[in-house]
Amino acid sequence: MFFHRSELQYESKPDAPNAVFAKKVQELIGGQFGEMSVAMQYLFQGWSTRGNEKYRDLLMDTGTQELGHIELLATMVARLLEGAPVYEQEKAAADPIIGAIMGGMNPQHAIVHGLGASPKDSNGVPWNAGYIVASGNLLADFRANVNAESQGRLQVARLYSMTDDRGVKDLFSFLIARDTMHQNQWLAAIKDLEAKEGPIVPSTIPPEWEATQYSHILYTNTETSTASQLPWVSQPAPDGHSITVEPPTPLAGRPVLKPGPPEAHDTLPAEDAK
């Protein structure tokens, strides 16, 4: 069950309206790495977690917090639009400077959403469930969670630099702090699971399934690439095996495909290919 309280998790009030910045904030709501993505990612990971109740609870707790972050940002968008001259664009266009500024807003905020936020990114692209990762393997999922929180924190930091509004910066400061906590918790969870399962996902593959002679080779052309000079190349891999460096030579011959059937109407093969 979910419960909603009318109080916000944190203050979300800009100093002044700004329709153009409201459009930018939409990225933090419905973008690939926005709050909708992490909320749905954590909740679906939690709903499918079996036999790891503490991590299930952590996922559900964090996903629920992210729902609150959506509410914070949706409130911020609504307040950035509140009092902005979004219905006066034609008049504003008489002043070329104001017209250019207002031209950068999202017209759907006024036309479709009645001065409210929407489940879309800063370009108006609807949020997509394909953004989320929920594989049923906690180690794989927690690594995806670190990436999601890293990208989200990066985007909030970039938007923080794009505004002088103290109210907006205050909310962003809170979100940056929460992203720090969430990165820390997923990194700690990864460390815990790696100690039990090893660093390679999944750890349950039978040894005979893997062509292990290729498992620890770094293929690189040392004449054109400096990848072999990375310090970890000369050290044991995270799974304890040694890494070797080899040139990327072909392991098979050139493929020759048979002509397609007449029904495919492919180009007839050259004489030398028959």
Establish if 157 belongs to a structural domain.
yes
Q: Which of 178, 197, 216 is the last residue of a domain?
A: 197
Domain of residue 238 covers 207-246
Residue 40 has pLDDT above 70, yes or no: yes
Task: Verify that 29 and 142 share a domain, yes or no.
Answer: yes
Is 4 among the annotated ligand-binding positions? no
Looking at beta carbons, which pairs linking 184-192 to residues 24 or more positions away fall under 8 Å? Answer: 185/58, 185/62, 186/142, 186/143, 186/145, 186/146, 186/149, 187/146, 189/55, 189/58, 189/138, 189/142, 190/139, 190/142, 190/143, 190/146
Establish if 66 belongs to a structural domain.
yes
Instruction: Decide if 233 contacts 219 (C-beta within 8 A).
Output: no
Is 121 among the annotated ligand-binding positions? no
Task: Verify that 108 and 224 share a domain, yes or no.
Answer: no
Is 109 among the annotated ligand-binding positions? no
Is 271 among the annotated ligand-binding positions? no
Query: What is the distance between the alpha carbons of residues 173 and 111, in angstroms, rounded to a whole number?
Result: 31
| Model pLDDT, residue 232 | 95
**Which is more confident, 13 or 256?**
13
How many distinct structural domains can be found in the chain? 2
Establish if 128 belongs to a structural domain.
yes
Whole-structure pTM value: 0.89
Is 35 among the annotated ligand-binding positions? yes
Task: Verify that 108 and 45 share a domain, yes or no.
Answer: yes
pLDDT per position as a tens digit, 44-61:
999 999 999 999 999 999
Extract the tokens encoding 210. 């893997």
Average pLDDT score over residue span 18-36: 97
Q: Which CATH number does the domain housing residue 154 bear?
A: 1.20.1260.10
Task: Verify that 182 and 79 share a domain, yes or no.
Answer: yes
Is 57 among the annotated ligand-binding positions? yes
Is 141 among the annotated ligand-binding positions? no
Report the share of the chain in percent with pLDDT over 70: 93
| Model pLDDT, residue 269 | 80
